[in-house]
Chains A and B, each alone.
Chain A
């Protein structure tokens, strides 16, 4: 632990930090424009939050492996209890009950659950005897660990976060080497159950979103409005965009949520295809680094944690970008590091912190060289 000594700059994971800073800075610029050319209220708080959460991530990266392994279960339990508390005494906003008032801030425990699930699953599989991987015990307990919080989050209701938790958990399970036939079977069962779940499990407004996604032009002023306007914003940006602070879609309020869910559209309108490639490239570099950290890890816990956290970030990015480009229904998932919003920044910086932590473990741990 004390090996972290005066960290030379060169030892920092620049291949991740550089694109991260790019995204944050770029995000701040777009937020500046989304606030009609003002640092307030979005851009300044965006940078401030990033600063705070970056410190948090660095602190997190200093934790030793044993301590994290030890803390996985308590953290999971505490977050689960907070989710229960949300159901009991949560604060209702925007039609769903997601927030817990801590006095000094509004906390959304479902956000914390994403890394927590990754952590507890990694802990479980790391301690599970290797021979038991293809047995049912590798499935039952983790399944419960995933589905319990998912059920609670679905009650809020918050479909996007539920899917994110399931995705993160499933990726850890996949990487943990569970038999492939289980995943194939689950996919087949999902294909069969999806229509049933769609008609009986989803709220009418969620069903509507799916229909709208399938045919946004059917109701361009109603439910298709978001997707239509987002595509107009991206499409009218063209190759190099309309120019900084010149986006009419966002500045004239045609684009809904130009500073959160649809920030990519806001960006693409002003910076064009070039800006889009920069963002995609930055995310690719970060995610590639995340995967590299996972592979470079010497132990199973580190591997699984790093992969799960990378998958969580990926899920955000993928769903958000597919949504703004009209490839996925509208679900309220912000774009990591660019969208304005404390909860998503917290989750994503926790993931980054976790990845930095595993990266540090990799650097300090003696290379075995046998398996790798």
Chain B
């Protein structure tokens, strides 16, 4: 270049200097090219060799996508190991348009196999044409196994069609267990935050327990998610599976609930709004906690529709409230036997009598009884439900003493149960009134409270516990989770004679000259004892309590235990606005009949259900359909259920199961679970479907598992 600069002033250019310049400059160009080539080779070596590890990692993280497989939820089992909540294999069919050469023909074929209607197939076609080709389009979900199988065998002729199975929560008895078990649903933002942003909670299709036991036992039921490593394209399409770790199903939770009894009780409530609680007097096991009307938790677990939710919310019978725990009612006369025990404890002798002259003067006022009972001792006061007797003796011993016993018997108490909430109500007392209302206790407060009215508020569970404690004289504690150990309960300081006296009086309510003659059990050897109750909702000036607008009618209540001389089961029935105890005790009678003899119980239920228009589930479906129709919405037909496995928690299953059993052991009135802890846990383990191919716990001999809905 220096040469060139020297030549510049001369400006003499010849052919040879030009050629020289060309050669030199070409050399420069060639050198520059070579230099750049070396630079590129170096750069490439740097990227490909020196930084290879980093880029390899990035390439892998591009290629591989880790996705969680939601764990199958643990089952909720009844005391016999039958599933109250299980997982139903949810068969669905998707189509991936870009893998389908002739989408139109394929959809036509699918329409034929799945028997889809015109609208559905038109929708599918539209979605196939509009969507990005790699994204699966749902053809149908919730299809039957037969349809799933039919498509699976035709797969070679149906390119791009993907039959899949997932799991959705399934409650075989639907509304019967709605309040008891709750339901599942996708986690919301708060739940996601609460649980430390667990990525599982936002995995599509994953659902957590949203209410009641499903929520309480969430961590037991959840299980461990599996993981799937897949190769994905830049647009997110899955190319192939690389590695899969199976999920671990959640643990089963075994309840004290007796599935068929729960179903029976719920259905027996029928068109009424109310609840039935039955518990085991020896162990405190809650056999049944039915609350109706209810919702179908299956609808929630599949994502409840706006219309259906609207129907439930608008219903004046509040199907969204668990009445067993959150329904508060004046206990009415059902507390009278318990008050008698308070009188006994205060030293009143059973044969001390008063004269009921259609009422009684307390202080300077005359309070009416519902009838004129003449001479009334304790027994007659119970079986005739004479108010005057209670006005008198409550006044005599003071209501503070009575209230103390009410608490001991479980009223106004919360129980250590795995439930989301329980309303504990009110047991009025002078101290309570002073604290709460800042006013002094008056004689009329004693009068009202002595017959379970006034400020008194209880829930049906408390009434059942009260009944069990009265029947046994033990401080029976209710429990919901099955345990092999028999709890030891504190015994109240009553003599067997005193307890026997009250039992006899309560038996007379049903079997003697009492107020609930129609509650007699259809057995010669088993007698039920009980106590009726009628709780006024509004004053007599508004309604007579038996007729008129539904919400002004009296609540009907009944507490009971059986057999009366050797109580095994105790319970309570509360029918909201039933118009009196006559609405309650026939239900108690049938439920107890079913408990001792399922066939007889079903015989009583069948004609009633015919009259009401089907089982609770059928009526709920029909009601929803009618409601939706009125709203101008169309409702797809309820998915068919062909898995017989689930039948065993339905009331009918018990009848079928009992037939051969009856032949074997002629009369065995109670169905005490006599199995040892090992047997129970073994049965639950075999009910755990991850462990066995055929998840068949076999406590009910004839139950047949023809298919396993979980694998």
Contacts and interface: CB of A to CB of B under 8 A. Distances in A.
Contacts of A231: 47, 55
Interface of B: 1, 4-5, 8, 11, 13-19, 21-23, 25-26, 29-30, 33-34, 36-37, 39-41, 43-45, 47-49, 51-52, 54-56, 58-60, 62-63, 231-235, 239
A297 to B, nearest CB: 10
A236 interface: yes
A326 to B, nearest CB: 8
21 contacts: A134-B11, A174-B25, A175-B25, A180-B4, A231-B47, A235-B48, A235-B54, A236-B52, A237-B48, A237-B52, A238-B49, A248-B59, A252-B234, A253-B234, A268-B48, A276-B41, A280-B37, A284-B34, A288-B30, A291-B26, A321-B40
A239 B49 contact: yes
B1 A253 contact: no
Interface in A223-258: 229, 231-239, 248-249, 252-254
Contact of A239 (B11, B15, B36, B48): B48
Contact of B51 (A130, A235, A283): A235
B44 A268 contact: yes
A272 B233 CA distance: 22
A252 B231 contact: yes
A271 to B, nearest CB: 10
B17 A177 contact: yes
Contact of A234 (B11, B13, B19, B55): B55
Interface in A313-371: 314, 318, 321-322, 325-327, 371
A232 B40 contact: no
Contact of B40 (A181, A307, A311, A322): A322
Contact of B14 (A130, A176, A277, A318): A130
A252 B64 CA distance: 10
A238 B23 contact: no
Contact of A253 (B16, B39, B58, B233): B233
A236 B59 contact: yes
Given A174-B29, A180-B1, A321-B40, A232 B59 contact: yes
A58 interface: no
Given A276-B48, A371-B16, A177 B40 contact: no
Contacts of B33: 284, 287, 291, 314, 318
A273 interface: yes
A68 interface: no
B45 A175 contact: no
Contact of A134 (B13, B29, B44, B54): B13
Contact of A252 (B13, B21, B52, B233): B233
Contact of B56 (A176, A180, A236): A236
Interface residues of A, number: 53
B48 A307 contact: no
Contacts of A284: 33-34, 37
A110 to B, nearest CB: 24
B59 A276 contact: no
A99 to B, nearest CB: 28
A235 B41 contact: no
A179 interface: yes
A171 interface: yes
A318 B1 CA distance: 25
Nearest to A272: B48
A327 B39 CA distance: 10
B8 A239 contact: no
Given A133-B18, A318-B33, 15 more contacts: A175-B22, A177-B13, A237-B52, A248-B62, A252-B239, A253-B233, A254-B59, A268-B48, A272-B48, A280-B44, A284-B37, A288-B30, A295-B23, A318-B40, A325-B40
A130 B15 contact: yes
Interface of A: 130-131, 133-134, 171, 174-177, 179-181, 229, 231-239, 248-249, 252-254, 268-269, 272-273, 276-277, 280, 283-284, 287-288, 291, 294-295, 300, 303, 307, 311, 314, 318, 321-322, 325-327, 371
Contacts of A253: 233-235
A130 B18 contact: yes
Nearest to B18: A177
A281 B62 CA distance: 31
B47 A325 contact: yes
A29 B261 CA distance: 73
Contacts of B59: 232-233, 235-236, 248-249, 254, 269
Nearest to B39: A327
A239 B26 CA distance: 34
Most interface-central of B4, B21, B40 (chain A CB within 10 A): B40
A283 B40 CA distance: 12
Contacts of B233: 252-254
Contacts of A239: 48-49, 52
A222 to B, nearest CB: 14
B41 A181 contact: no
A228 to B, nearest CB: 8
A229 B25 CA distance: 38
A254 B62 contact: yes
A280 B40 contact: yes
A151 B68 CA distance: 57
B285 to A, nearest CB: 58
Nearest to A133: B13
B13 A235 contact: no
Contacts of B47: 231, 234-235, 325-326
A117 to B, nearest CB: 17
Contact of A325 (B5, B8, B25, B44): B44
Given A232-B58, A238-B52, A291-B29, A276 B8 contact: no
A284 B39 CA distance: 13
A272 B4 CA distance: 44
B63 A248 contact: yes
Nearest to B41: A280
Contact of A236 (B5, B16, B26, B58): B58
Contacts of A307: 22, 26, 29
Contacts of B5: 180
A351 to B, nearest CB: 15
Nearest to B11: A134
Contacts of A287: 30, 33
Contacts of B14: 130
A293 to B, nearest CB: 11
B26 to A, nearest CB: 6
A174 B14 CA distance: 16
B95 to A, nearest CB: 22
Contacts of A175: 22, 25-26, 29
A343 B33 CA distance: 24
Contact of A235 (B8, B29, B55, B235): B55
Nearest to B59: A236
A235 B234 contact: no
Given A248-B62, A276-B48, A327 B26 contact: no
A46 to B, nearest CB: 23
A318 B34 CA distance: 11
A254 B5 CA distance: 53
B36 A181 contact: no
B34 A232 contact: no
A238 B45 CA distance: 8
Given A238-B48, A321-B40, A325-B47, A130 B13 contact: yes
A174 B21 CA distance: 9
B18 A273 contact: no
A291 B23 CA distance: 10
Contacts of A235: 47-48, 51-52, 54-56, 58-59
Nearest to A294: B26
A178 to B, nearest CB: 9
A179 B52 contact: no
Contacts of A371: 15-16, 19
A283 B11 CA distance: 38
A307 B25 CA distance: 10
Contacts of B11: 134
A234 B34 contact: no
